[in-house]
Structure 1
Amino acid sequence: MPHPPKELYTIADASERWGVTTDIIEDYLRSGKLQASVHLPRKMMHKYTRQPTECSFSDEVDVFDVDSCDPYSYMPQQGVFNLCYEDVNWDEAGKATLEKGGLYLSRPDDEEKCYYGFDEDFVLSRDKVYVSISELTRFEGEYGTTPRTEQQDCPEKVVKVSQDANPELHPKEKESLLKIVIAIAIGFYEFDPAKKKSPIANKITNLVYDLGLSIDVDTVRKWLKEAAEIVPRKKHKITPELLSDFGIPPHAKDD
């Protein structure tokens, strides 16, 4: 029984999943196309909720602060949080300081819009930033992105479909087709299989093009050659009997 997929992917994991660079994943995180997450140990945190304001532009600006009347506004928190990745400044070592009181974090399952802030500075490593599997699959569905494992399977699937769609002809079927080819070539184009060079292949190719189709002239020559091999040598010369053998009325070549 297969194991369920893991829930949290690092930036490197996500880049591997899609076969892109980590810079591209980070661009998605900064632009908000992907939601970043962090998994934190038990920490004392303040909860910041939207507060009423008397400002004239209150409809345009949300003010978040700790509600002193809420007994749950300051308590231990742990687990998975959404991270405002665009607000994080990384140093060359891949570290970032989430400052005390900064509104960097929110809960993915909170019904009300609120943020959580540390009561002291917290140092975060870039390799501890995650993207949840639900977020990855949401992105894949929205933007048509395919996991690399499925991309690698595609060529095999295409080959299999191609093989199923173009099965090898049964020898009897191929022989029947070759008979039709040689009958038409001899009966209507006066093709002489005994001649090494013939303009018939070019004529057939041009006719195919006139019908809005296409075929390689070498393919026509190959089929004519194979078809000629099934015609008895004594019947290479066009005769009423030869045309009759292939079901062509003797007068057909004169039309």
Structure 2
Amino acid sequence: MYTKRIIPCLDVSEGKVVKGINFVGLKEVGNPVELAKQYYEQGADEIVFLDIGATHENRETMVDVVKEVAKTIFIPFTVGGGIRSVQDMQVMLRSGADKISLNSAVIREPQLIADGAQMFGSQCIVVAIDAKQREDKSGWNVYINGGRIDTGLDLLDWAKQCLELGAGEILLTSMDADGTKAGFDIEMLQAVNAIADVPVIASGGCGSLQDFAEVFEKDAADAALAASLFHYGELSVGQVKEYLKEKEIPVRL
């Protein structure tokens, strides 16, 4: 049985780690290099770094910050935000990233998934999907530009397309749950995990040790990503893993 991964997420804006609720009301919570080192030392399995303003502000990801983070951690490191071409992916990988997270750019140009997978291998390509439940509760729509634009795309249709194009992982964020600490969106995660033949990373809403356990016990994801809980010191990665071990959920200690 594969071990379940615990992944702290650094949402970075203007060089600082920030966190909001439902993708708005962002507050500064720390320095990305210092936080990445802290989580590495706590036993994080991976770190995800998302430059959340890059696409909206139409600029490139902060290469210098990526390089600094890569020097301080020795675990897989995923970088996303403002990556619009294979050349951009190459720059990030050369700067120390192990994986590339693609979101808004691949909605506009899905072929980028296939091009990246062909050039660097599927294991390098993480497609990040931000989704929100439709008002009629009939399913979920995909959003881009940091949750600002509703693409009108159905989540399951888009996830299938990403998989067919060569995505190696799906990082799935519930915009409804994001920052609420009310728990992961289990229904949405299960729906995608059921059709995915690659790992699904759960994101958005984690608020307790029980939430981490639930997402794995209900077969909703292969990895759990959290931000607020770790940033505000409410839990450490080590505490989460010890709890999961007690629940007989396989983790790497």
Normalized against structure 1, the TM-score is what?
0.19
> Higher strand share goes to which structure?
2
> Higher helix share goes to which structure?
1
User: Bigger radius of gyration, 1 or 2?
Assistant: 1
Normalized against structure 2, the TM-score is what?
0.19
